[in-house]
Amino acid sequence: MQEFLSASTIIDFEHPLVAAKAAALAKCCVEQVALARNCYYFVRDEIAHSGDIHSDLVTLKASEVLEAGTGWCFAKSHLLAALLRANGLPAALCYQRLQKDGQGAFTLHGLNAVYLPEHGWYRCDARGNKPGVTADFTPPVEHLAWSAYDTGEFNFSGRYAEPQAAVVSCLRDNTNYQQVFDNLPDLTALES
CB neighbourhood size of 157 (10 A): 7
Per-residue pLDDT of the chain (192 residues; tens, 9 = 90+): 999 999 999 999 999 999 999 999 999 899 999 999 999 999 999 999 999 999 999 999 999 999 999 999 999 999 999 999 999 999 999 999 998 877 778 999 999 999 999 999 999 999 999 999 999 999 999 999 998 878 888 999 999 999 999 999 999 999 999 999 999 999 765 654
42: containing domain: 2-189
Long-range contacts of the stretch 184-189 (C-beta < 8 A, 24+) = 184/100, 184/107, 184/108, 185/107, 185/108, 186/97, 186/105, 186/106, 186/107, 186/108, 187/97, 187/106, 187/108, 189/108, 189/164, 189/165
Q: What is the model's pTM?
A: 0.96
By residue count, the chain amounts to 192
Domain CATH code at residue 42 = 3.10.620.30
Q: What total of structural domains would you count in the chain? A: 1
Quote the CA–CA distance of 190 and 167 in Å, as a whole number: 9
For residue 20, what are the contacts with CB-CB under 8 A and spacing of at least 6?
none
